[in-house]
Structure 1
Amino acid sequence: MEATEALKIGCQGRGENPYGDGKASVRIVKILEEKWLGKLVFVSEEKPFTRSSSFNRAIDQAKNELIFACDADLDLPENLVEQVNRFVTKKTVWFPVFFNLFEGKTASISMKNGEWFPVSRGMFASTKTQFNKIGKFNEIFVRWGGEDDDLWMRFFKYGFLPIRTRCKGLFHHYHPTNKPADYKPIKIVY
């Protein structure tokens, strides 16, 4: 079985679309159906988008114990399944570090194309049991940012060791951010 066939994509869409005409979800599903070899699950809800709520709903639908959550603006490496299996154990969770591409640059690791993003917000791998034990994504985060740091901190506080490693082939494509001008990251206290 191909590695991509072992993965199931769960998409949690919302009726509100800040980037277009409200039909973007339909276009995304069509593109995924054409390119994705594995199973695709798509659910749309008619309420304002929050990343925390969307990830929680998508993970709630997962039937497998091993989960990997990420945003849609990433290229995933061919060996992703092997890496998730290597880094997620009963005591560890994985927060892969991606290569952040500069505007207009191609997906290859070069300092002229981008840089490693050391904090690697936006994705993690764990077991569903671990994720549920820490209380999932905290849905008090309804604006841009903070939910990833909070999740990482709660994994740590519940006794799971978050592992961060560079993940070759994991590329984040440039796009303008929705980060509010007054955004301040939360401080992680150990």
Structure 2
Amino acid sequence: MPLRQFLGALAHDGLRFERAVRGRWERMKNRSETITVAPSGRGVRCEWQWTSPVDYCRFVPRADVRLLRAALKEWPIASADSPADDVNPEVTFLIGHRGLARLPQLLMTLRSIAAQSGVRVECIVIEQSHGREVENSLPEWVRYLHQPVNQGHPYNRAATFNAGAAAARGRILILHDNDMLVPMRYAAEVVAHANAGWEAIDLKRFIFYLTENDTARVLHEGQLRLDERTEIVIQNLHGGSVAVTREAYDAIGGFDEAFIGWGGEDVEFWERASTRRATAFGFLPIVHLWHAPQAEKLQVNEAPALKLYAELARVPAEERIARLRQKARTATSQRAEPE
């Protein structure tokens, strides 16, 4: 670590960090960024267009540990074998998945969802694959959908969410990644916001990306500690885990299945979701479990799905919604036609 960056972080951001970890940890920010506090006082929005790391946690040893500890003390993440009550769920977690490589991360993610308190939840895992690889490994309380594709077909995350949404019983959908652990009160906070009239809800403040070694230990022990180490602490991630009411999901046309491979679909979806009553004042931590990156992610802006997003971003969100809704109506009418 360059000494200049370390000393600069201490000089410019040290006091801000110490205040944050002793009180409002969610208000930690980079010196060049501005945050807006929610009118309710709960949560902040970073006024920065793109995902960005928390620089202080990059340059100052163990700052990441201290920030994570402060977050988890307020919003603990727990594990359970099954939900206390999944009858007539209010919330449906949707998780797209493929293959066995991330099965351990998926199972740990399911345990954090099972530990949700104060609200009835269900979870649907949509496996998009040639064969049913993970079905028999899932807990009994998890609903399973298989979305068959040809061997080697690129992963289409958008299609998994649309299939899951069609089968969901909850009035609120949480579109969730298969490698992210959430606080016990996560779903309850989403429901509270939906009850207040919000239709698209993003409550995450920071995502703590655990190291490979710490992830291996969490997967082995089945629980988080307060001293986990991270590779990076991220803010302003558009995807990962966002919530939307069933009504709003349908009204904006769901996910755009033109996105094939990694990248872009979350940002595009949130742009359309933001035409509804949307809130993105974050105050909850999420912990990301390490895994090898997707090949497309290493391509950065050359990934085909990111190029598609760049094209769609030039089209007004309302026009994109109209296109997707028309496409859905056409597909429905074609299915209804007799052979």
Alpha-carbon separation, structure 2, partners of 1:139 and 1:90? 28
Report the 3-state secondary structure (helix = DSSP H, G, I; strand = E; otherwise coil) of the residue aligned with 2:262. Answer: coil
Alpha-carbon separation, structure 2, partners of 1:27 and 1:76? 24
- Indicate conservation of the 8 Å contact 1:13/1:43, yes or no: yes
5 Å-filtered alignment, 1:106-121, equals 107=224, 112-120=229-237, 121=239
Gaps of 5+ in 1: 17-21, 34-38
Q: Which residue of the partner structure matches residue 127 of structure 1?
A: 245
* Displacement after TM superposition at 1:141 (Å): 0.3
* Displacement after TM superposition at 1:76 (Å): 2.5
Alpha-carbon separation, structure 2, partners of 1:150 and 1:118? 18
Alpha-carbon separation, structure 2, partners of 1:176 and 1:79? 29
Q: 1:145 to 1:179 in 2, by over 3 A?
A: farther
Number of paired residues? Answer: 176
Structure (1 or 2) with the greater strand fraction? 1
| Alignment partner of 1:105 out of 204, 214, 217 | 214
Q: Which amino acid aligns with 1:75?
A: L
Structure (1 or 2) with the greater helix fraction? 2
Q: Which residue of the partner structure matches residue 163 of structure 1?
A: 280
- TM-score with structure 2 length normalisation? 0.46
Alpha-carbon separation, structure 2, partners of 1:164 and 1:179? 32
- Cα root mean square deviation, aligned: 2.8
* Displacement after TM superposition at 1:69 (Å): 1.6
Report the 3-state secondary structure (helix = DSSP H, G, I; strand = E; otherwise coil) of the residue aligned with 2:212. Answer: coil
Please tell me whether residue 90 in structure 1 is matched to residue 206 in structure 2: no
* Displacement after TM superposition at 1:118 (Å): 1.3
Report the 3-state secondary structure (helix = DSSP H, G, I; strand = E; otherwise coil) of the residue aligned with 1:138. Answer: coil
- TM-score with structure 1 length normalisation? 0.78
Alpha-carbon separation, structure 1, partners of 2:132 and 2:173? 28
| Alignment partner of 2:163 out of 51, 54, 57 | 57
Alpha-carbon separation, structure 1, partners of 2:173 and 2:246? 6
* Displacement after TM superposition at 1:140 (Å): 0.5
* Displacement after TM superposition at 1:111 (Å): 8.5
Alpha-carbon separation, structure 1, partners of 2:240 and 2:120? 21
Alpha-carbon separation, structure 1, partners of 2:258 and 2:193? 29
- Indicate conservation of the 8 Å contact 2:132/2:146, yes or no: no
Q: Which residue of the partner structure matches residue 31 of structure 2?
A: none
| Alignment partner of 2:294 out of 178, 185, 190 | 178
Q: 1:164 to 1:51 in 2, by over 3 A?
A: farther
- Indicate conservation of the 8 Å contact 1:102/1:114, yes or no: yes
* Displacement after TM superposition at 1:110 (Å): 6.2
Alpha-carbon separation, structure 1, partners of 2:166 and 2:214? 35
Q: 1:159 to 1:6 in 2, by over 3 A?
A: closer
Alignment deviations for residues 58-115 of structure 1 (CA, whole Å, 9 cap, x no partner): 1111122111120111222211221211333433422224322222225456684244
* Structure of greater relative contact order (alpha carbons < 8 Å, 6+ residues apart): 1
